[in-house]
Structure 1
Amino acid sequence: MSKRGAPPEVNAGSMADIAFLLLIFFLVTTTIETDAGLDRMLPPIEPPDTDVVIKQKNIFEVNINKNGQLLVEDELVDIKNLREKAKAFLDNGGDGTCTYCKGQKNPESSDNPTKAIISLKNDRETKYSTYITVQNELVGAYNDLRNREAQRLFKRDFTDLEAEYLNPETDPARKEDLKEKVKRIQDLFPQKLSEAETSSGN
């Protein structure tokens, strides 16, 4: 009876090198997802020189209860109609000083886009997804109106101008030109989105 030969040995000397190369490969090619937040620029804390009086008609109140229902200006509103209502408020031009406004010029609504404030109030039990959806619709209202004015003045959407301006690869000279255009549109419809203190038990 013949003896079986010993099984061939596997050379494991380079296995560590191969594992290291695979590790490097996966580290380089893997994308890590990051949580998307809300892009908000908070104003510096500066005491006002004089007391600012804000008329109630210049405040657009949006309340979200714990069930995700919207109460806009004391009226129950479907979330799909929120953007149009916010645009109508911002674009109203009630005091006649806004030359570019195309709203109804209702004297009982906002006087001017520069004076219009959107106030958002949530319940402590409001779902985060509902909160984000409402925020998106309100910011979308500003963007729609800014896009309209950017098209009128520069034949481009405001969102495109802003994206090009914020792109780090944009030429510095071009960036200066874009900065002026972006600021001009932002001044026409300044984003005044205020968050009131969160309530509970609504």
Structure 2
Amino acid sequence: MRRIEFHFDFRSPYSYLALSQLPSLDAEILYRPFDVLSVMDRVGNVPTSVVCRPKGDYVQRDMRRWAKRYGIPFQPNPAMREADMTRLPRAAIAADRIGAADTAVAALFAALWREPAPLATREDIFAILKGAGIDPASLGDIDAPDLARAFEEATDAAAKRGLFGSPTFFVGDEMFFGNDRLDFVSQALEQIH
């Protein structure tokens, strides 16, 4: 079966960019949210576009270049720092459990990188999901300990598997990092019979 594991952190604009291209790869997408900053710390990586000003300036231009190439809007949420980056992935995990990961992940990424919307509270997140057609009651409590544990376990597994940034894709055991590696992801899928 053609399957892509999509490991992402909602903070990653390149994950948003990559997500826009995944449907064209004609594969089942397995959504794997993880805490990229925790993984980077564990594996000795640093967010160089944050600590290196020239790279940060370049990345701002580069993201817009990729959005133009993909033909998608790119409008970073001005309230990004207020977004609850622990509840977003837990909401994605809860949505995955009810078979709505595609919709939830797309809606939450859109609220961060496409059509800015508040994401600071559980109610904000539920409003986005409800607007996308997901009944928040079907998700249960996104603050439940089992969802927090699932997110921690996903982050632990990401570090153990060798991830160092977001987005990261797996086709089988082959790892690909970055939205600019989707051609290689596509080639790997072609090898699956």
**Structure 2-normalised TM-score?**
0.21
Indicate the structure (1 or 2) with the bigger Cα radius of gyration: 1
* Structure with the higher helix share, 1 or 2: 2
Q: Which has the higher contact order (CA 8 A, sep 6+)?
A: 2
**Structure 1-normalised TM-score?**
0.20
